[in-house]
Amino acid sequence: MPQKTPLYDIHLKLGAKLIDFHGWLLPVHYSGIIEEHLAVRSIAGLFDLSHMGEIEVEGEDALKYLNYILCGNIEKLSYDGRIMYCGLLNESGGFIDDLLVYRKSKLQYLLVVNASNADKDYAWMQKHISGFKAEIRNVSLNTGLIALQGPKSGEILYETARRNFNDLFYYHFTESKLAGKPVIISRTGYTGEDGFEIYARWNDLPQIWDSLYPIAFAHGAKPIGLGARDTLRLEMRYPLHGNDIDENTTPLEAGLSWIVDFTKDNFIGKEILVQQKKNGVAKIIAGFVMEDKGIPRSGYEIIQSGEVAGVVTSGTLSPNLSQGIGLAYLNPEKIGRGGDFFVSIHGKERKIRLVKGPFVKSKIYNSHTK
């Protein structure tokens, strides 16, 4: 039986269509994916993300330990309340998971990981902790999570918390209270919009949802399911672990070399990444839009001059562009050669156009965009 989040009853009341998502019973949509997607882009949306995993790391060597198991440099989290996007890599440089690191103090960190990987991540972390004066705790089942995303998020949170978060910038977090309950509020998300992720104790989550929902609803915001979560992230070109990145893809192949700190002495997977940096990669991720009609899907082949040139890892109809978009791994030589690419959809070749950067402009909240 799939597990229920603390908001299960609320989802039923809101008429959600629930699915088994990696062992969790979660809404795939409420009113409809497109309507929900557009609500987040134009107003705001509330997401139940309680399935996400949380792992605490604490101890004298916490920083040293994280710098060994993660590809980024945690020293760059130079003060408490900062957050970093990072990769947990295997010896081949492949993604065991991608995650967020929250610095609570120099000795205390919180890792937010993908639901389906939480147990695997924890086991891997446990395996590599010997020799470090640090402890890890899997607190996934004590930690509930609601995301509030969209241009009206700041107003909705202000009216709910009676406190403004104007000084809380992108990839920063703070402790606060909602509905009288302690929460961690971070200015992060998976949509490209301004917004917050709100962590609370598991059993406190329904009250927190109930304090946010009527205010959000009055603004025209909607509850959002996993379907729109996926279209929102894909329009921003954010990778999804299990689709676009996995144990057989490295940050360099995934276009994420910016998350790797090559100046660090040693970390798991470094050797392979150094080689790839020097010699190049055999496959590289590319974003594309459909020039012809059709919707690309994961697993479809990319064709150039009649030959297979790669495979789609994510694809959908972009609700904002009303056009098929996707991510694919391609042979870099074939990109270099130029020439048209096609995706094979239902046995027919449809033309695509490779594009750089996000498909839709990001509107995150930082000190420059304030």
Partner 1 sequence: MSYPEELKYTSSHEWIKVKGDKGVVGITYFAQKELGDIVFVELPETGRQYKAKNPCCVVESVKTASDIYCPVSGTITDVNQNLNSNPELINDDCYGKGWIFEIAISDPSELDKLLSAEDYKNQYTK
The stretch among 25-33, 195-203, 280-288, 334-342 that binds partner 1 (CB under 8 A) is 25-33
With respect to partner 1, which residue has the nearer C-beta, 127 or 346? 346
Q: Does 317 bind partner 1 (CB under 8 A)?
A: yes
Nearest to 231 by CA among 359, 58, 134, 353: 359
Comparing CA positions, the residue from 367, 368, 369, 365 lying closest to residue 192 is 365
Burial (0-12, 13-18, 19+ Cβ within 10 Å), 339: exposed
Residue type, 85: Y
The reply to whether 326 sits near partner 1 by the rule CB under 8 A is no
Rounded-to-integer distance, Cα 12 and Cα 6, Å: 12
Between the CA of residue 64 and those of 70, 133, 267, 273, what are the distances in Å? 10, 9, 10, 20
- Packed helices 153-161 and 205-218: angle between N→C axes, nearest 10 degrees: 120
Query: What's the rounded Cα separation, in Å, for the pair 131 and 128?
Result: 8
Size of residue set near partner 1 by CB under 8 A = 18
Of 79-87, 107-115, 129-137, 227-235: span binding partner 1 (CB under 8 A)? 227-235
Q: Is the dihedral of CA 95, 255, 264, 103 positive or negative?
A: negative
Q: Are 113 and 55 in contact (CB under 8 A)?
A: yes
Say whether residue 251 binds partner 1 (CB under 8 A). Answer: no
Examine residue 93 and tell whether it contacts partner 1 (CB under 8 A): no
- One-character DSSP codes across 93-112: S-EEEEEEEEEEETTEEEEE
Among 5, 316, 330, 359, binds partner 1 (CB under 8 A): 316
Between 133 and 348, CB nearer to partner 1: 348
Residue 29 within binding range of partner 1, rule CB under 8 A: yes
**Which of 10, 18, 26, 33 is in the footprint of partner 1 by CB under 8 A?**
33
295 binds partner 1 (CB under 8 A): yes
- Least separation in angstroms between residue 8's CB and partner 1 is 21
Which one-letter amino acid corresponds to residue 266?
N
- Of the candidates 357, 316, 328, the one whose C-alpha atom is nearest the C-alpha of residue 34 is 316
**Complex with partner 1: residue 18 or 134, whichever CB lies closer:** 18
**346 counts as binding partner 1 under rule CB under 8 A:** yes
Q: Site map for partner 1, 136-175, x if CB under 8 A? A: ----------------------------------------
What does R_g of the chain's alpha carbons equal in angstroms? 21
Q: Which is nearer to partner 1, 141 or 321 (by Cβ)?
A: 321
Q: Which of 205, 204, 187 is nearest to 196 (CA)?
A: 187
Chosen residue from 14, 21, 32, 135 binding partner 1 by CB under 8 A: 32
Q: Is residue 350 part of the contact set for partner 1 (CB under 8 A)?
A: no
29/172 with CB nearer partner 1: 29
In the complex with partner 1, which residue's Cβ is closer, 53 or 296?
296
By the rule CB under 8 A, 227 interacts with partner 1: yes
Query: Would you say 188 or 316 has its CB closer to partner 1?
Result: 316
Residue 12 sits in the site that holds partner 1 (CB under 8 A): no
Where along the sequence are the contacts to partner 1 (CB under 8 A)? Answer: 17, 28-29, 32-35, 227, 230-231, 293-295, 297, 316-317, 319, 346
